[in-house]
Structure 1
Amino acid sequence: MIMLNGIEFESSKLGSKEHWEAVYARELNSFRDIGDEGEIWFGQESIDKMVQWAAEHVPPSDDPAILELGSGNGTLLFSLVEQEDYSPQRLCGIDYSSSAVELAKSIAHQKAMQDILFHMCDFLHQDPPLPSFVSNSEEQKNLGQVDNWDLVLDKGTYDAIALGEKDEQGRSPVFRYPSQAARLIKPGGFLLITSCNFTEEELKANFLTQVNNLVYHSSIKYPTFSFGGHSGAKYSSVAFQKTSQ
């Protein structure tokens, strides 16, 4: 059983690479057969709200470098281009599923967005490859500095990682996530994460540590519902900003 700030999560196939390889292999075959781009995880509303938040706080006029963790079929990155005219050359998606990366690349080709970079990468254990527009010095590379991104996005990846198998110390792989994600962000840049398993307060508790140099910035509001005397929203979207120290 995984414990995160008092919340218990059991390991699940939803946290395994094998599961997501199978899911995206099916979606890739479907795309090839009938042109179906696959499921929009968390629905179009979450996509639209994340794009709107980005346009307000990291506008395309600033020509930001944007990275999505667990980009799947690429829908969120495609929406940034289609809805707000972000530069495809400054967008990158990484996923540990080779089928997801192949699907995203295939859809990008169909949409004439081949300039969006999609790479296979397990960011908990390796750094994303440097895009051509990033020019880190050798000194930065030697120091392990990979803070190249103005905005890092996550829609459901943190949730999936939280369901992964525990290590020999009994820790969920998600314990590595906040520090690894923070490393990728430029000082002053943002992490915008959307979750269906964690509330806003739980995300704050997991990410706001001095080690990560992250501070709370804002959140996205969703319609609320009431059940059993309690009220809440279906999703939580929270933005954190990286400080200079």
Structure 2
Amino acid sequence: WDAAYERELQTFEDIGDTGEIWFGEESMVRIIRWLERHKVPLDSSVLDIGTGNGVLLVELAKSGYMNLTGIDYSPSAIQLSERVREKEGMSNIKLKVEDFLAPSAELSGFDICIDKGTLDAISLDPDDAVGKRKQYVRSLSSVLKPEGFFLITSCNWTKEELLSEFGEGFEILEELPTPKFCFGGRIGNSVTALVFQRKKAKPSILDKLD
């Protein structure tokens, strides 16, 4: 990924092209429309997991969202997103080099987490992909507030598989409409987009004793 983002960074420096938008423009519109439709406050803290070129955060900022953070484990991706942020004049967007599978202590308390393809990329890792997916869910639980929203867009996982993946600690709120295709007389979706809500932590026996 570093090599890919280094190429995109060079292209941006040369001709101002921000590079590929994962899942296209419509994926960003879908997310922003959901936030607007549910009147999610503009000062809500938003984390973009695997921000890449940071274009989603720029679009969120243009829509009025003020408390935006993007993380990526690739330093080249963060460099690119910093350049894009500067070009767009969005100085309030926070960007950090972070490995989401080992998040730092200050990465916590977010109202909303967004993933567009990051879980997909982790799932393709030949080195213990299953363990890394489980760690992803643990990391998500540590950075997202109870009752916070998680919006995920995936091309590798079906709705049922994602429900199974996030079944513990999260509940599905909504499936967002995505483009359909027809093959062999069957209709399917090339992309799955779901909204989860983190469940409230159950009170422990010690809490009840208090």
- Relative to the length of structure 1, the TM-score reads 0.78
Q: CA deviation at 1:219?
A: 1.4
**Residue 160 of structure 1: aligned partner:** 121
Select the structure with the greater relative contact order (CA < 8 A; seq sep ≥ 6).
Answer: 1
CA distance in 2, matches of 1:110, 1:238: 31
Q: Choose which of 143, 150, 154 in structure 2 pairs with 1:195.
A: 154
Checking the alignment, whether the CA contact within 8 Å between 2:54 and 2:81 is kept in structure 1 is yes
1:206-230 CA distance string (max 9 Å, x none): 1011xxx211111101232210132
Residues 1:85 and 2:64 aligned together = yes
**Residue 99 of structure 2: aligned partner:** 122
Q: Which amino acid aligns with 1:111?
A: E
**Residue 174 of structure 1: aligned partner:** 133
Checking the alignment, whether the CA contact within 8 Å between 1:58 and 1:151 is kept in structure 2 is no
Q: Choose which of 176, 187, 190 in structure 2 pairs with 1:220.
A: 176
Structure 2 residue matching 1:76: 3-state secondary structure: helix
- Structure 2: gaps of 5 or more residues: 202-210
Residues 1:234 and 2:190 aligned together = yes
**How many residues end up aligned between the 2 structures?**
201
**Residue 53 of structure 1: aligned partner:** 34
**TM-align CA RMSD:** 1.5
Q: Which amino acid aligns with 1:73?
A: N
State the identity %: 40
**Residue 84 of structure 2: aligned partner:** 107
Residues 1:30 and 2:7 aligned together = no
Q: CA deviation at 1:24?
A: 0.4
Q: 1:128 to 1:114 in 2, by over 3 A?
A: farther
Structure 2 residue matching 1:51: 3-state secondary structure: helix
Residues 1:66 and 2:46 aligned together = yes
1:36-59 CA distance string (max 9 Å, x none): 111111111111101111222352
Q: Which amino acid aligns with 1:159?
A: D
Checking the alignment, whether the CA contact within 8 Å between 1:165 and 1:172 is kept in structure 2 is no
- Structure 1: gaps of 5 or more residues: 1-19, 131-145
Q: Which amino acid aligns with 1:64?
A: S
CA distance in 2, matches of 1:166, 1:30: 31
1:108-137 CA distance string (max 9 Å, x none): 01111021011000010232645xxxxxxx
Q: 1:78 to 1:128 in 2, by over 3 A?
A: farther
Q: Which runs of 4+ in 1 moved over 4 A?
A: none
Q: 1:171 to 1:154 in 2, by over 3 A?
A: closer
Q: CA deviation at 1:177?
A: 1.1
